[in-house]
Amino acid sequence: MAGFSALAVAPASAETLIKVTQGDDYAYLYQNSWYDNVYACDVEADGHGVYVKVWK
């Protein structure tokens, strides 16, 4: 299974966008004053899933 490195982010004062990639697969963390959004995208047809771990 393909995986991404963990993302750890300090509290956002305005907006924060962090994107990590592995091959063509990617994940991102978007934070602003109101919410956090985490997204992982598996675009390689290789039979391996992707995941992202986030902790604050």
User: Which residue type occupies 7?
Assistant: L
Is the confidence at residue 54, as pLDDT, over 90?
no
Residue 3's pLDDT is what? 54
Could you read off the pLDDT of 12-46 as tens digits, one per residue?
Answer: 468 999 999 999 999 999 999 898 999 999 999 99
**Confidence band for 4, pLDDT divided at 50, 70 and 90:** low
Residue 11's pLDDT is what? 55
Torsion of CA 44, 45, 47, 49, to 10 degrees: 30
Task: Check: pTM over 0.75? Answer yes or no.
Answer: no
Region of residue 34 (phi > 0: left; psi between -120 and 50: alpha; otherwise: beta): alpha
